[in-house]
């Protein structure tokens, strides 16, 4: 095994069941996956049994902790309960103190790990049993344990020295002396209690399989004292476990062959984490509302930042969750918009008019189908030339907030999404695009259901609502395309075909949907972070940074989709042309490599690089500055007029909400009006 320069520290880890002595090795910040590993020693072992493994595990990005059982050594405690059950409870306390770890047990420690895993498998990532087999309750095993216990009662701990001596070369004087000291301190009550507990351990393979916990059975190829290689293999098969046999080792591969032992563990954990990441991803793309997808994003980024997936009923894809990878995806011309190959994502994309038109729109295309119209629109909606200036936005906000105040009177509970976000975004979008107020308000309501066209998976009910809303949106916009910015689309698409209709819908959707969601997401954040709301209320000059922080922390657009046009690599994964790539913007914006304390909402935050909430590169949203300006006008007005505004219930988030995030129901009450 290659020498790895990682410090190993000796500390006392505080747990809910008391302090335990540990050796720990932590990865560098650049390598840290955030995943803990807990290593449990054998009957006559100690945390030092794992010294050869700890630096290599840390170098691979894992936070590795080896620990001693409480009561294992003298002067530790007087409690004489040294059963597998008790030590499994201690292990779960260690797991709880560290998070959700992979756990590894050697020999007796394997039985401790097994008991912990069966007690509460959901709190562990995986379990690995080194040199631990089916059970110890057979007559043969009871006889072995009984003989060991009898000899121990006669000779004391000295009987253990030959076992230790076989593992330590004669010239390793320091380690031999260390273990002589350990044997003097080892409490016979611990060893005898553990032996008695082992004698009652049955197979439990069926229980392990039923737990569905990822499991590894490992043994040295010369390990024959308690179980044969055939018995180890049979046990792994019955328990639904992976099997690893370490050449050149007997009962203690961690000491005899640490390099291959680490390699086997890393392979097992990589596959385990990949499967967990796939389950996490599938949960994220289910057509249901997600109140807080960010812990799942974090798990994906740590366990599998470049994750190959098979989209159900669709194509193979790669999911990206790191800032650097998502920024590259958006900026590199190698990756093109999904409209260049819509069949990769939606085989039946021609089935519904709204979806069909959107895939042909300028935002989903490249080259001449994209750039001329985007460039023309971008020139017309700069902050200086925008048809709707801040003074008019403030007037619209005043009108909307007047109506909001009337609804709040008497302590009534009001849905801020319906009362503020929809009318504000609808009216501002209407003025921007040249849509009359009444038609703009109707479109704003229809847009909620129509936005499901962007989602990869929707329910039949959502599809029905999306189709009906799509017809309303298309027909309304087509009838109004002679005025404002909508007329610009007609100039570029005089044929009035589906590409023209798609451009109208995309322009409207981009101008309305994200700004409306920005209002609901931002209001929720400010109401749930009153100290940050106070900063913005007291100093409206912070509005620019506050809006940027809202967009970073909880962006309306969660996922960007691109198609690879040439062979490339992300991490160690080779990506073939024609592969769909999904950049999770919500995860990238909270990458610790992008900004410090990424899960803290801080309205005064500055970042050296921009968040990816409005995209990047040639498809960067041309109306981003306008959308920011409108939010910068609204939020300070909302906070100043309603300082007593409070949440009055649990927000209901957009469904499906995989691609586009927002709050459908944000119940609030004005405590200042009571």
DSSP string, 336-375: EEGGGSGGGT-TTTTSSHHHHHHHTSGGG--GGGTHHHHH
Report the pLDDT value the prediction gives residue 408, as an integer from 0 to 100.
Answer: 97
User: Is the whole-model pTM more than 0.85?
Assistant: no
If one counts every other C-beta atom within 10 angstroms of the C-beta of residue 310, the result is 11
Helices (H), 19-76: 54-59
Report the pLDDT value the prediction gives residue 531, as an integer from 0 to 100.
Answer: 97
Report the pLDDT value the prediction gives residue 322, as an integer from 0 to 100.
Answer: 96
pLDDT of 597-616, one tens digit each? 999 999 999 999 999 999 99
Q: CATH code for 9-136+201-276?
A: 3.40.50.1820
SS3 of residue 36 by DSSP:
strand
**140: Cα within 13 Å, side-chain hemisphere:** 5
Tell me what percent of the residues of the chain surpass a pLDDT of 90: 71
* Per-residue DSSP letter, 68: P
Phi, psi for residue 435 in degrees, rounded to 5: -105, 130
pLDDT of 472-515, one tens digit each? 999 999 999 887 899 999 999 998 999 999 999 999 999 999 99
| Residues 111, 94: Cα–Cα separation, whole Å | 16
In angstroms, the first-to-last Cα distance of the chain is: 71
Report the pLDDT value the prediction gives residue 1, as an integer from 0 to 100.
Answer: 47
Report the pLDDT value the prediction gives residue 448, as an integer from 0 to 100.
Answer: 87
Beta bridge partners of residue 242, listed in sequence order: 216
Report the pLDDT value the prediction gives residue 651, as an integer from 0 to 100.
Answer: 97
| Residues 71, 18: Cα–Cα separation, whole Å | 11
CA-to-CA separations, 470 to 218, 401, 463, 474, 658, in angstroms, rounded? 57, 29, 10, 6, 19
- Name the residue ranges covered by the structural domains of the chain: 9-136+201-276, 289-673
Which of 206, 121, 191, 208 has the alpha carbon at shortest distance from 152? 191
Low-confidence residues of the chain: pLDDT under 50 = 1-2, 76, 674
Burial class (CB in 10 A: 0-12, 13-18, 19+), 497: exposed
Per DSSP (E only), the strands in 553-636 are 559-564, 568-570, 573-575, 580-584
Encode 252-271: b = buried (16+ Cβ within 10 Å), e = exposed: bbbbbbbebbbbbbeebbee
Report the pLDDT value the prediction gives residue 209, as an integer from 0 to 100.
Answer: 95
Report the pLDDT value the prediction gives residue 146, as an integer from 0 to 100.
Answer: 74
If one counts every other C-beta atom within 10 angstroms of the C-beta of residue 410, the result is 8
SS3 of residue 26 by DSSP:
coil
SS3 of residue 651 by DSSP:
coil
Mean pLDDT of the chain: 91
| Residues 509, 514: Cα–Cα separation, whole Å | 8
Q: What CATH fold (topology level) applies to the domain 289-673?
A: Cytochrome p450 (1.10.630)
Tell me what percent of the residues of the chain surpass a pLDDT of 70: 95
Per DSSP (E only), the strands in 577-637 are 580-584
């Amino acid at each position: 095994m290659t020498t790895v320069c990682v410090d190993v520290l000796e500390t006392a880890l505080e747990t809910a069941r008391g302090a335990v002595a540990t050796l720990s090795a932590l990865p560098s910040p650049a390598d840290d996956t955030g995943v803990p590993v807990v290593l449990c020693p054998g009957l006559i072992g100690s945390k030092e049994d794992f010294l050869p493994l700890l630096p290599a595990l840390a170098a691979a990005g894992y936070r590795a902790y080896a620990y001693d059982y409480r009561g294992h050594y003298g002067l530790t405690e007087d409690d004489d309960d040294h059963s597998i059950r008790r030590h499994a409870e201690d292990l779960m306390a260690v797991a709880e103190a560290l998070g959700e770890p992979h756990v590894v047990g050697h020999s007796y420690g394997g039985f401790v790990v097994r008991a912990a895993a069966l007690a509460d498998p959901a709190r562990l990532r995986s379990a690995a049993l080194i040199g631990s087999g089916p059970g110890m309750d057979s007559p043969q095993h009871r006889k072995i344990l009984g003989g060991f216990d009898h000899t121990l009662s006669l000779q004391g701990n000295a009987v253990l020295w030959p076992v230790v001596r076989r593992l330590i070369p004669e010239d390793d004087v320091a380690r031999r002396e260390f273990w002589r000291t350990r044997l003097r301190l080892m409490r016979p009550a611990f060893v005898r209690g553990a032996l008695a507990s082992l004698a009652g351990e049955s197979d439990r393979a069926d229980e392990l399989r039923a737990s569905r916990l990822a499991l590894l059975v490992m043994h040295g190829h010369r390990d024959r004292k308690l179980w044969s290689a055939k018995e180890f293999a049979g046990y792994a098969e019955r328990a639904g476990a992976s099997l690893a046999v370490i050449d050149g080792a007997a009962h203690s591969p961690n000491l005899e062959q640490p390099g291959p032992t680490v390699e086997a563990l890393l392979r097992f954990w990589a596959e385990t984490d990949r499967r967990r990441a796939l389950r996490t991803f599938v949960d994220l793309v289910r057509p249901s509302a997600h109140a807080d997808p960010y812990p799942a994003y974090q798990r994906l980024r740590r366990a599998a930042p470049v994750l190959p997936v098979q989209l159900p009923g669709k194509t193979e894809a790669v999911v990206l969750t790191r800032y650097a990878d998502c920024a590259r995806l958006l900026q590199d011309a190698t990756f093109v918009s999904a409209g260049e190959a819509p069949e990769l994502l939606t085989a039946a994309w021609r089935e519904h008019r709204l979806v069909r038109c959107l895939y042909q729109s300028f935002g989903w295309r490249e080259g001449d189908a994209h750039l001329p119209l985007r460039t023309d629109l971008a020139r017309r909606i700069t902050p200086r030339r925008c048809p709707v200036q801040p003074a008019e936005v403030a007037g619209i906000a005043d009108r909307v907030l007047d109506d909001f105040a009337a609804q709040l009177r008497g302590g009534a509970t009001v849905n801020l999404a319906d009362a503020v976000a929809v009318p504000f975004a609808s009216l501002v979008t209407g003025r921007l695009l040249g849509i009359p107020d009444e038609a703009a308000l109707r479109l704003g309501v229809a847009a909620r259901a129509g936005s499901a066209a962007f989602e990869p998976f929707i329910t039949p009910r959502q599809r029905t609502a999306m189709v009906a809303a799509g017809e309303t949106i298309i027909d309304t916009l087509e009838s109004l395309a002679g005025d404002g910015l909508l007329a610009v689309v007609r100039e570029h698409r005089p044929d009035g075909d589906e590409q023209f209709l798609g451009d109208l819908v995309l322009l409207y959707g981009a101008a309305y949907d994200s700004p409306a969601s920005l209002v609901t997401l931002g209001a929720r954040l400010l109401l749930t972070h009153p100290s940050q709301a106070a900063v913005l209320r007291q100093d409206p000059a912070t509005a620019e940074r506050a809006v940027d922080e809202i967009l970073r922390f909880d962006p309306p657009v969660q996922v960007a989709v691109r198609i690879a046009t040439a062979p490339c690599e992300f991490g160690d994964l080779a990506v073939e042309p024609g592969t769909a790539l999904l950049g999770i913007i919500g995860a990238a914006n909270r990458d610790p490599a992008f900004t410090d304390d990424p899960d803290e909402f801080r309205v005064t935050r500055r970042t050296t690089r921009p968040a990816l909430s409005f995209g990047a590169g040639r498809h960067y949203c041309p109306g981003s500055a306008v959308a920011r300006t409108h939010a910068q006008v609204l939020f300070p007005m909302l906070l100043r007029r309603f300082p007593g505004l409070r949440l009055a219930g649990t927000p209901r988030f957009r469904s499906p909400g995989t691609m586009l995030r927002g709050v459908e129901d944000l119940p609030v009450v004005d405590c200042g009006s009571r």
